């Protein structure tokens, strides 16, 4: 046998052995599924062989496309859309943007004339307008003061107390630069003495939105915020609502507001059988713009009105469905008489 023949035999043997190896490996892959299905019924003598095939199968999983592996562990996140808070539409005319104490188109009272404000319910949307030192409180006797004064850093930010719509934003006499916001809960708040107002009438604001920069415009001797709470144009003692020491809304308290013939009062106690000619007992917690009356009513049919700024006998006569002549006769005045703010007039 020559050298060429020996080389040919060696090459043929090598190719044959390679073919057998490939066939064995391919057969192992083909039988993998069948071996896995019968794993529980195989005898213990074949267990090692099955384990070998399973290991070989596991190595195949690592060769799968990345997309297939990630799909098995996909986490689906459900996003719940936020439900918008529905607010009533409020817009103001030029007349309503002219005066701080505007009462027209602002009567939050129901037919009963009693408006109940639960402070716990109002707290969720409340923001203390400015975290400064308390300077002065509410007073209707002596030197009249219709709000609270809070010391401020010059040009520091003043913020809205509740969500609402800006009714007034302008320079206004002793108030200086003032902003008035009508809120959806029936309350109006007043912010004055700003060096600059940041909002305009009919702007919609949320609690905590910037509305002005602190200053000392108007009748002011130092930079501060003069803050008022008004209902139907009448200033109410803010101490009924806010804790000036802890800079927050009071909790666990209910405010009872009454509209009796145009006379607005507010108290922490509910009044029963209250009539306009009666004066409330608890002076410290009552806010009102009326004066003390010493003349009792002669009968339950008698009705009085307390004059507000800008009112005339004609306005009052129309409001109570009467005439100017009857008003003059009831009150012993003339048609040309000049009415005073808070003057008590008998209308019936």
Quote the CA–CA distance of 115 and 264 in Å, as a whole number. Answer: 10
The CB density around residue 25, as the number of other CB atoms within 10 Å, is: 11
pTM for this model (two decimals): 0.58
Co-location of 225 and 189 in the same domain: yes
Angstrom distance (rounded) from CA 265 to CA 256: 8
Which residues, in sequence order, are bridge partners of residue 205? Answer: 164
Q: Are residues 124 and 240 in the same domain?
A: yes
Based on the fold, state whether residues 152 and 247 are members of the same structural domain.
yes
- Domain for residue 96, yes or no? no
Number of domains in the chain: 4
Q: How many of the other CB atoms lie within 10 Å of CB of 50?
A: 16
How much is the pLDDT for 52? 46
Q: Are residues 132 and 279 in the same domain?
A: yes
Distance CA 247, CA 338 (A): 43
CA distances from 287 to 127, 231, 238, 261, 284 (A): 22, 11, 9, 16, 8
* 210 vs 199: CA distance, rounded Å: 8
Both tokens assigned to 178? 């003032």
In this structure, the chain runs to a length of 348
Q: Same structural domain for residues 136 and 224?
A: yes
Q: Determine the pLDDT at residue 48.
A: 46
Q: What is the pLDDT of residue 316?
A: 84
Phi-psi region of 258 (alpha: psi -120 to 50; beta: other; left: phi over 0): beta
255, 148: one domain:
yes
pLDDT of 328 reads 83
205 and 342 share a domain?
Answer: no
In this structure, are 234 and 308 located in the same domain?
A: no
147 in any annotated domain = yes
Residues 195 and 272 in one domain: yes
**For residue 36, what are the domain limits?**
31-77
Residue 102 placed within a domain: no
What is the residue-level pLDDT of the chain in tens, covering all 348 positions?
A: 565 566 666 656 555 555 555 444 444 444 544 554 544 444 444 444 444 444 444 444 445 455 544 555 566 666 666 666 678 888 998 889 999 987 667 889 988 889 999 999 999 999 999 999 999 999 988 889 999 999 999 999 999 999 999 999 999 999 999 999 999 998 999 999 999 999 999 999 999 999 999 999 999 999 999 999 999 999 999 999 999 999 999 999 999 999 888 889 999 988 765 444 343 333 333 444 433 333 343 444 678 888 887 788 888 887 887 888 888 888 778 888 778 777 888 888
Report the CATH number at residue 311.
3.10.350.10
């Amino acid at each position: 046998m020559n050298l060429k023949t020996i080389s040919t035999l060696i090459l043929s043997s090598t190719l044959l052995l390679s073919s057998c190896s490939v066939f064995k490996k391919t057969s192992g892959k083909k039988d993998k599924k069948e071996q896995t299905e019968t794993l529980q019924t195989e005898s213990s003598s074949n267990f090692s062989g099955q384990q070998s095939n399973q290991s070989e199968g596991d190595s195949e999983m690592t060769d799968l496309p990345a997309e297939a592996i990630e799909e098995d562990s996909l986490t689906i996140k459900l996003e719940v859309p936020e439900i918008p808070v529905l607010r009533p539409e409020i817009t103001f005319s030029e007349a309503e943007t002219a005066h701080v104490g505007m009462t027209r188109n602002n009567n939050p009272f129901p037919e009963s004339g009693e408006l109940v404000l639960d402070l716990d319910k109002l707290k969720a949307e409340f923001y203390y307008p400015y975290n400064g030192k308390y300077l002065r409180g509410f007073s209707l006797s002596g030197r009249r003061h219709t709000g609270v004064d809070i010391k401020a850093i010059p040009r520091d930010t003043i913020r809205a107390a509740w969500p609402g719509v800006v009714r007034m934003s302008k320079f206004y006499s002793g108030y200086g630069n003032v902003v008035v916001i009508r809120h959806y809960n029936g309350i109006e708040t007043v912010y004055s003495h700003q060096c600059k107002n940041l909002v305009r009438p009919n702007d919609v604001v949320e609690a905590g939105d910037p509305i002005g920069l602190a200053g000392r415009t108007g009748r002011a001797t130092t930079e501060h915020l003069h803050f008022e709470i008004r209902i139907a144009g009448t200033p109410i003692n803010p101490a009924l609502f806010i804790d000036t020491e802890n800079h927050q809304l009071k909790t666990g308290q209910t405010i009872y507001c009454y509209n009796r013939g145009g006379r607005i009062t507010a108290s922490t106690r509910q009044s029963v059988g209250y009539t306009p000619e009666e004066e409330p007992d608890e002076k410290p917690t009552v806010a009102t713009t009326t004066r003390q009356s010493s003349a009792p009513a002669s009968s339950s049919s008698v009705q009085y009105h307390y004059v507000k700024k800008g009112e005339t006998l004609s306005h009052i006569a129309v409001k109570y469905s009467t005439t100017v002549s009857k008003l003059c006769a009831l009150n012993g005045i003339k048609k040309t008489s000049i009415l005073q703010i808070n003057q008590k007039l008998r209308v019936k």
